[in-house]
Amino acid sequence: MEHHPAAAWLTEAASAAVQHQGAGYLLRVVLIVMVLGCILTGWFLLRGYKRDDD
């Protein structure tokens, strides 16, 4: 059994993406993940400001 560092899957995914269609595909994936992460972070932060005025 081989020991892989924690980020080995990231480098393997990046190299597979680059071999698939070049750097444009990798950039597209990174941008989509970044936008989804920003939306999720905004939702998480803003949900704390919700008021229950019952």
pLDDT tens digits, one per residue of 6-53:
667 667 776 766 666 667 888 888 999 999 999 999 999 988 777 665
Amino acid at 40: L
CB 20 within 8 A of CB 32: no
Dihedral over Cα of 41, 36, 26, 2: its sign = positive
pTM of the entire predicted model: 0.51
